[in-house]
Amino acid sequence: MRRTTRSPTAQAGASAGPIRIARGYNPANRRRGIGSTRRYVEPAVDCENAPEPPGRASEPRRGWAWQVPRQGGGPPARRRGPRHRASRGRTVSRKLCPNGHGYYSTSADICSECGAALQSDHGERVIAHRYRLDRVIGLGGTRSTVWEGVDLRTTRPVAVKLLPDPTGVELMRFMRGAFIAAELDHENVAQVYEYGEYGEDEPEGGLFLVMERLTGATLDRVLRKGAIPWRRAVSVAEQMLSALDALHANRGVHRDIKPGNVFVTPDELDDSWRVRIFDFDLAMRVEDVTTSEFYGDELRAVPSTPVCGTPPYMAPEQIIGYPLDGRADVYAVGVTLYRMLSGCLPFADSDRQLLYRAHLERTPPPLAAPGGRPELPSALVAVVMRALSKRRSERFKFASDMRRALRAVQLEHREAATPAPAAFAARWPTP
């Protein structure tokens, strides 16, 4: 069944034509990776007005595929490290709402919220004539579900994000974020293989995004049991900043950096963690500005910015709806690093308005390691507090600047890092 999705203007009764999406945007397969994520994202504040996604000179008809070569040419890059292992997951079957309203027991048939027919979270459905969906491994933000699947052409394990029957705003946000993520060729960004529209041969359809399958867990799940050693935390933050530096250089802002959107994979060879940033649903592009304007105090890139993000990690200018630049992401990295070092958030009010006011007015509590841990280096504390400055002109101007400051702290304390104790290694959750 042929489906089209109209923009918000068209839905309001204007004469604008339907928005058609090519089903097969397929960036070059630069890396391989498999794994799992039980919780894909944390809830985020919704955007009411998202700008149009990057367009093309002509709209291909539905079903066409876009092949995007790797920048600079050449074969796909290979990544060093051990082979990823397929994750272990429970096999108990449940039912879930196709509109993302949660799980139900196998005896239920109808979603209590929207009345949709429930689906099993295990199955062998195939979308886009290529990707087999095996089981649900997480629930996304805007009614989306994340499936463990297999690329039937290459037998490569993948993660597939589905958004059924999107609204105009959801469509624009989904496609814009997928486009921005697919353009990034960075080892600390989860690779997007393909995205587009599914369901042309089905009674109902929506949007899909295929990404690499990761092993390990989200940083949020790791931090649920408390702080981590400061050298480990600095290493994670450095990798996050490396990915954000590539995003900012490409005129992008993530706007939703948080532990739930950071995936960590333990490396069996050297006991290090490899970090991937994912979920670019709220990412936006800053167009037609110079570098000085992009990072200037009086940013003129966007006339008005809707309030989007996850409140505990939102920068002050993000809360008040001021136009953003990369320093909003630097602030979110500072909050994440604060939590990794102390085991708690700098501001954790349950009331959203009080939380907003805390980010705007209150000074974060003094950063200190939990009881029984060695004191944190004063230089490291200074880096975190600078990243959490209320005025963005007092923060690090670039993500690379904060990364260099963290590297200097590492070099200043060159003592051999002690291996992680068995109790700490055992905190890894089974996906």
pLDDT digits (tens, 9 = 90+) for 330-373: 999 999 999 999 999 999 888 999 999 999 999 999 898 777 67
What digits encode the pLDDT tens for the residues 225-284? Answer: 899 999 999 999 999 999 999 999 999 999 999 999 999 999 877 778 999 999 999 999
Rounded CA separation 410/234 (Å): 8
Fold observed for domain 218-425: Transferase(Phosphotransferase); domain 1 (1.10.510)
Q: How confident is the model at residue 95 (pLDDT cuts 50, 70, 90)?
A: low
The per-residue pLDDT for 121 is: 54
Q: 20-69+84-212: CATH homologous superfamily? A: Phosphorylase Kinase; domain 1 (3.30.200.20)
| 256 catalytic per annotation | yes
For the cut 80, the answer to whether the pLDDT of residue 27 exceeds it is no
Q: Which whole number is the average pLDDT over 285-308? A: 50
The strand order across the sheet containing 206-212 reads: 65-68, 24-27, 192-198, 206-212, 156-164, 145-151, 131-139, 122-127
Show me where the domains of the chain are located.
20-69+84-212, 218-425
Percent of the chain with pLDDT over 90: 45
**Nearest to 190, CA basis, from 243, 234, 151:** 243
Contacts of 98 (CB under 8 A, 6+ apart): 116, 117, 118, 119, 145, 164
From its phi and psi, is residue 332 left (phi > 0), alpha (psi between -120 and 50) or beta? alpha
pTM of whole model > 0.75? no
Identical topology for domains 20-69+84-212 and 218-425: no
Catalytic residue from among 245, 256, 281, 329: 256
CA distance 350 to 402: 30
Q: Could you give the CA distance from residue 243 to residue 185 in angstroms, rounded to a whole number? A: 9
Distance CA 414, CA 54 (A): 46
